[in-house]
Every structure is written in structure tokens, then in C-alpha cells.
Amino acid sequence: MKRKANLLFHFGFVKLLLVFILGSWQNSFAAFEFNSNGAASSGLGKIHFTLPSQVWLPGNSFLSSEQNGVAVSLRRKFGLAELDEGSLGITYKKFGLDFALGGRFFGDEVYRETEILFGASYPVLENLKISSTLRTLSLKIENYGSSTAFALDFEALVSFGDFIFTNSFSNFTFTKVGNETIPQVLVSSLFWKVSDRIQTVFEIEKDVDFPLSLHFGTQVSVVKGFYLRLGTQTEPEFYTGGFGVNFRRYSLDYSYSEHRELGGTNEFTLSVNF
């Protein structure tokens, strides 16, 4: 019995050590990592922009979402169960405003991050929207305790013809959870509807503590209701791809991203419009 308890202790310690080793590698596993959510965005070079035809998910710009709906996304980073990540997003339009409610989890029983988000956007002009998102951030580490904090994000969107331009600033409240600084990230996104069948997104991402990262992705409508996606990201370097299938009010998206040293990540997203 004692041997079994020791084995369980060592197994838990190894998992915790693995998470913290990965957490020290550049910005890829920082606490409350600033990352894209949803297979559609991940397949397009891990952009943070939500395509106009997609339902918003936490971690992405929701201002561009033209759909009311619910979306659920699951991601397994580099094939490791300890790095599982999931998110739920709900978007709804009412009183001339766009509302968004969502949640996100990362990790397992040893190391767990949980976020609850509420956001709203307001159309200042016909082609200009501004928004703010309140995030509740909870961090729990087995045998070390837990901590909770609040952060605010800000975003502005301008649309002109076939282009959409967004600027966002994540955590402009300089929030920390315990001793962990939550990423402060500025993102500029440019969406271009090249044609009825081709859409592209280019992003510039700058974490205040890390090098500039560039994201680029292209989506092609092969046939009605079926999309192919390709993309790339720098700092850290990823190559991404995926597909989407739409049927009436339902959408299923899949993405795969490859890191040269750490391997591949699979993500699935299911969304329903209403």
C-alpha cells in the first residue's frame, strides 16, 4: 500500500514538473497563455480573429462574429493529456449590442487554469465598434493552493468594404494571479475577403515581454459548406491547416498545428447557430 502511494506521489510530481518545464519555454505555456481558440482560427495560423461566419470563442476577437450561437472547442497540445484545453463560447445580439459569455480550462488536477469571460461591444458608428471583456482568472496547483484575479481587455474594430481591421489590448489592467503575470498582448488583425471563395487574415501580435509574432492564414471554399484552411505563425514557429464543414445551423471544424521540436496539436470545434 505504501509503495502504491509513493508511486502515485512520484507520478503526480512528474506531471507537475512537466507542466512547469514547458511553462518556462518561451511564451508557449505561460500562465493563462494568450492563444487562439477554435479550430477555424487555429487552422489559419493561430490567429485571434474570429471569421465573420464563425461563432466566437474565448481568446478570440468576438467583435467580428456575425452569428448568434454556441461553440465548444477541445484541444490536446502536442499529444499530452496534461496540456488539454477546452473552451465554451456563447454570442447573442440584443438592444443593439453584441454580448459574449464564455469559459476556458487548461491542464488537469495537478495544474489547472480556469477563466470565465463576459464581453459586450457597442457600435459607435456604422463601421466602428468598441468592446471590453471582463475575465475572471483562477489558478489552482495541487498541494500549493489557488488564487483568483480579474482582468480587462479592450478592442476596437473598423470595417471598410471587403476589409476588417481590429486592434486589441489584452490585460490592460496589469493583472497578476499570485506571482504570475498575466500576458499583456497587443494584436492588430487585417481581414480581407478576396472573393466569395477566398478569405485571408494577417495579424501582428506583440506580448510586452516577448518578441513580435506574425500570423497569416487563408481559407478557401472548395464547395458549398466545405472549407480548407492553411496558415503559419512565427515566434514560436508553427505550421497549421484544417477544414470546416457547415450543414444548416451546425458547423464542425478541425485543425492541426505542427511545432518543429514539440510536435503536433489537434483541435476540434462544434458550433450551433440560432
| Most confident among 53-57, 228-232, 262-266 (mean pLDDT) | 228-232
Domains of the chain: which residue ranges? 2-273
- Please list the alpha-helical segments (H only) found in the chain: 2-23, 39-43
pTM metric for this prediction: 0.86
- CA dist 13 and 269 (Å) reads 32
**Sequence-distant contacts of 239-246: CB under 8 A, at least 24 apart:** 240/42, 240/43, 240/44, 240/45, 240/46, 241/43, 242/39, 242/40, 242/42, 242/43, 242/267, 243/43, 244/39, 244/40, 244/43, 244/219, 246/53
- Give the per-residue pLDDT at 30: 55
Sole residue written with cell 493563462? 32
Q: What percentage of the chain carries pLDDT values higher than 90?
A: 67
- CA dist 111 and 147 (Å) reads 12
Residue 49 DSSP code: B
pLDDT at 10 over 50: no
pLDDT (tens digit, 9 = 90+) per residue, 123-150? 999 899 999 999 999 999 888 888 999 9
CATH of 2-273, one of 3.40.1110.10, 3.40.640.10, 2.40.160.40, 1.10.10.10: 2.40.160.40
- Average pLDDT, stretch 3-20? 44
Task: Give Cα separations from 85 to 73, 114, 143, 219, 273 (angstroms).
Answer: 8, 10, 22, 24, 23
Supply the mean pLDDT for the chain: 88
- Give the per-residue pLDDT at 26: 39
Q: How many helices (H) and strands (E) does the chain have?
A: 2, 16
3-class SS of residue 221: strand
- CA dist 232 and 218 (Å) reads 10
- Give the per-residue pLDDT at 272: 96
